[in-house]
Amino acid sequence: MQYQVIQQQHELDNFISAIKTANVLAVDTEFMRRRTLYPEIALLQIYDGEQLALIDPLLELNFEGLWEIFQNPQVVKVLHSPSEDIEVFLKFAGFIPSPIFDTQFAMQILGEGNCVGFAAMVKQLLDVEIDKSESRTDWLKRPLTDKQLDYAASDVFHLLPCYKIIAEKITALGLFDIVVDESKLIAIKRSFKLPPELLYQDVKNVWQLKPRDLAILRELAAWRKAKAEVKNLALSFILKEHNMVEIAKRRPTSLNSLRNIPGIEAMEVNRSGKEILASVEAGKRVPENECPARVKRLIDFPEYKKEFKRVKHVVAEVAKENNIPADVFASKKQINQVLSWCWKKTEAERESLLQPDLNMGWRKELINGKLAEWL
279, 297, 322, 349, 369 from 285: Cα distances, Å: 10, 27, 54, 22, 44
Cα-to-chain-centroid distance, residue 354: 14
What letter represents residue 265's amino acid?
E
**Amino acid identity for residue 136 in this structure:** R
How many other CB atoms are found less than 10 A from the CB of residue 15? 20
Q: Is 30 a catalytic residue?
A: yes
Set 40, 48, 56, 85: catalytic member = 85
Cβ(45)–Cβ(28) below 8 Å: yes
Query: 138 catalytic, yes or no?
Result: no
Which one from 3, 30, 102, 357 is the annotated catalytic residue?
A: 30
Query: Helices in the chain by DSSP H: which ranges?
Result: 9-19, 64-70, 83-92, 103-109, 118-126, 146-172, 176-191, 211-231, 235-238, 241-250, 255-259, 266-284, 304-321, 326-329, 332-343, 347-352, 361-367
Catalytic residue among 134, 155, 182, 357: 155
Considering the candidates 3, 28, 219, 357, report the single residue annotated as catalytic. 28
Rounded to an integer, what distance in angstroms lies between the CA atom of residue 233 and that of residue 56?
23
Residue 151 bears catalytic tag: yes
User: 47, 48, 87, 151: which is the annotated catalytic residue?
Assistant: 151
| Residues involved in catalysis | 28, 30, 85, 151, 155
